[in-house]
Chain A
Amino acid sequence: MSESMFIRLFAGISEDCFGAIPLVPFGQWLFPVGIFLLVMGFRAERNKKAEILILYRYGTILNWWKRHFTKWVAWGIYTAILLLLDALLYDIAVGRISVLSVELVLKSSVLWLVHIISMAALFGLLELFPVRRFVPGALLLLEGVTFIIGFRICKASHAMYGMWGMYLRSSWWETGGFPVGTVIAAEIGVSAVSFCIGRNYLKKSTNII
C-alpha cells in the first residue's frame, strides 16, 4: 500500500508519537506542500507588477481585496487538484492504482484540499505585508514546525496545523486522530479570519502600493 505515490504524498504520516521523527515520510508530505508554495510564490511575483494598473480600477480597496483573496483561494484549489491528479496518474501509469480505495482517495483529497485552501488564504493575507518575499518559506516552516510539535507532544497533536491535512492522522483513519469536522471548521475559520485581517489591514494601510 505504501508504494502508492498518492498515499506517500497526500495521506500523511501514520507513525505514533514515539521515537524519532520519520524523516522520509515527513519529506514526502512536505514535497507537494513545497511545490504548491513554489507555484503560488511564482504567481505572486508574476502578477505583482500588474497590480498597479489593476487595483484602482476596482474603485474601492474592499472590492479589490475580495477579488484578490478569491483569486488566491481559486489558484490554491486549482494547483492542489493538479498535484492530486499528477500523483493518481503516476499510480495508474506504474500499475499501483489498485492498492487505492475510492474512500481513501476521496477522504485524503478532501483533507488535503481543505488544508490547501486555508494555506492559500494565509498566503493571500501574508502577501499583503512587506514580508511577502518570505511567505512561501514561512508557510513551509509553519507546516513543518507544527507537525514536529504535534509529533513530539501527543496531547497537542490535534491542535497542530501541520497535522490537519493528513488523512492518516484523522478520525477517518482506523487508528483514530483529530476530529475531522472540528478541523475542517478550524481550517475554514483560518480562511475567514485571514480575509477579515486582510480587509482591516487594507482599510488602515497608508501605503497600498
Chain B
Amino acid sequence: MEAVIRVENVTKRFGDVVALDHINVRFESGNIYGIIGRNGSGKTVLFKTMIGYIKPTDGRVVVGGKEIGKDIDFADNMGIIIENPGFLSRYTGYKNLEYLASIRKRIGRERIRESMERVGLDPDSRKKVGKYSLGMRQRLGIAQAIMENPDILILDEPMNGLDNQGVKDVRNILLECKREGKTIILASHNKEDIAVLCDTVYEMDQGRFTASPSQSGKL
C-alpha cells in the first residue's frame, strides 16, 4: 500500500541535542498509529517535522508524494493538535472555528456546527474560550482538527484533560475517521487509549524508535 506519510532517515539536532535520530517510518491510510514515549523523547518534534513546522537537519518527510520544505511548506490535507491547543480566548468556540475555517475557505457554517456537536460542544453557546475548562478546549481542538475533513490527523495527546465521557467520545470519533480511510497518528501517555485505538504502536526514546513497531493489544 502507498504510504500517505514517509519519514525518511530524519535527524533533527538543536545545537548538541539530538531530538530525532535517523527516524524511518511509513504511515498508511485507514490506520491509527500510536507513538508512545516519555516527555522529551521526541514525539512532538517528530509531529512538528511531519507538519512542516520544524525542518529536519537531515532526511526528508514526504506527505502525499510531496516533500515538505521542498515541494510544499505544509500539507494541505492535515488536521492537527499539538500540545494544548491555543485559541483566541476572547472569542466563543464557534467564532474560533469560523476564523480557522475562513483561512482555507473549504467549509461553511453547517460543517463547523456539525463538528462542534460531534465533540459534544454547543455551537450556539456564548461562552468565551477563555472560560472553557481544559476538557472543553481539548474538545474544541478535536473539532478544529476534523472539521475540514482532512485525510491525515496528527494528534499530540488528544485525550489530555478529557473526562471519561470525553475520552469515549473522542475514541469513537477517531475510530469513525479510521473507517473513513483517514490516517491517524497520535501520541498518548495513556496505554489504554493506545491499546484500544491503535493498529500499530511505536515507542520513542531519546529521538529514536526503541524497537520494531508492535501491533495493538501487544502492549
Which A positions have Cβ atoms within 8 angstroms of B?
46-62, 205-209
A56 touches B86 (CB 8 A): no
Known: A56-B74, A59-B73, A60-B73. A50 touches B53 (CB 8 A): no
Give complex CA distance A206, B103 in Å: 24
User: What mask results when residues 43 to 79 of chain B are scored 1 for a CB within 8 Å of chain A, else 0?
Assistant: 0000010011111010000000000000011111010
Known: A50-B88, A52-B83, A54-B100. A59 touches B54 (CB 8 A): no
**B89 is an interface residue with CB less than 8 A from chain A:** yes
A57 touches B100 (CB 8 A): yes
The 6 closest A-B CB pairs, nearest first, are: A49-B86, A56-B74, A57-B103, A206-B55, A209-B53, A60-B73
Q: Which residue of A lies closest to B103 (CB)?
A: A57
Q: Which residue of B lies closest to A203 (CB)?
A: B73
B83 touches A207 (CB 8 A): no
A53 touches B85 (CB 8 A): yes
Contact partners of A60 in chain B: CB under 8 A: 72-74
Give complex CA distance A21, B114 in Å: 63
Contact partners of B218 in chain A: CB under 8 A: none
B85 touches A59 (CB 8 A): no
CB contact between B103 and one of A52, A58, A207, A208 (< 8 Å): that residue:
A58
A56 touches B80 (CB 8 A): yes
Tally of contact residues, B, Cβ under 8 A: 29
Interface of A is mostly: helix
B73 touches A50 (CB 8 A): no
A207 touches B53 (CB 8 A): yes
B88 touches A56 (CB 8 A): no
What would 21 A/B residue contacts be, using CB atoms closer than 8 Å?
A46-B88, A46-B89, A48-B86, A50-B86, A50-B88, A52-B80, A52-B83, A52-B85, A54-B103, A56-B51, A56-B74, A56-B78, A56-B80, A57-B103, A58-B103, A59-B74, A60-B74, A205-B55, A207-B53, A207-B54, A209-B54
Instruction: State how many angstroms separate the Cβ of B180 from the closest Cβ of chain A.
Output: 21
**B87 is an interface residue with CB less than 8 A from chain A:** yes
B53 touches A55 (CB 8 A): yes
Q: Which residue of B lies closest to A61 (CB)?
A: B73
Contact partners of A59 in chain B: CB under 8 A: 72-74, 76, 104
Instruction: State how many angstroms separate the Cβ of A51 from the closest Cβ of chain B.
Output: 8
Known: A50-B88, A53-B80. A207 touches B55 (CB 8 A): yes
**B82 is an interface residue with CB less than 8 A from chain A:** yes
User: What mask results when residues 129 to 151 of chain B are scored 1 for a CB within 8 Å of chain A, else 0?
Assistant: 00000000000010010000000
Give complex CA distance A48, B89 in Å: 11
Give complex CA distance A19, B96 in Å: 55
Give complex CA distance A143, B9 in Å: 48
Q: Which residue of B lies closest to A52 (CB)?
A: B82
Instruction: State how many angstroms separate the Cβ of B50 from the closest Cβ of chain A.
Output: 11
Give complex CA distance A24, B73 in Å: 50
A57 touches B53 (CB 8 A): no
Instruction: State how many angstroms separate the Cβ of A79 from the closest Cβ of chain B.
Output: 16
User: What mask results when residues 32 to 49 of chain B are scored 1 for a CB within 8 Å of chain A, else 0?
Assistant: 000000000000000010
Q: Which residue of B lies closest to A57 (CB)?
A: B103
B100 touches A55 (CB 8 A): no
Give complex CA distance A61, B51 in Å: 12
Give complex CA distance A48, B51 in Å: 18
Give complex CA distance A8, B11 in Å: 57
Give complex CA distance A54, B80 in Å: 10
B82 touches A57 (CB 8 A): no
A206 touches B54 (CB 8 A): yes
A53 touches B144 (CB 8 A): yes
CB contact between B53 and one of A46, A49, A62, A208 (< 8 Å): that residue:
A208
Instruction: State how many angstroms separate the Cβ of A153 from the closest Cβ of chain B.
Output: 41
Q: Which residue of A lies closest to B129 (CB)?
A: A50
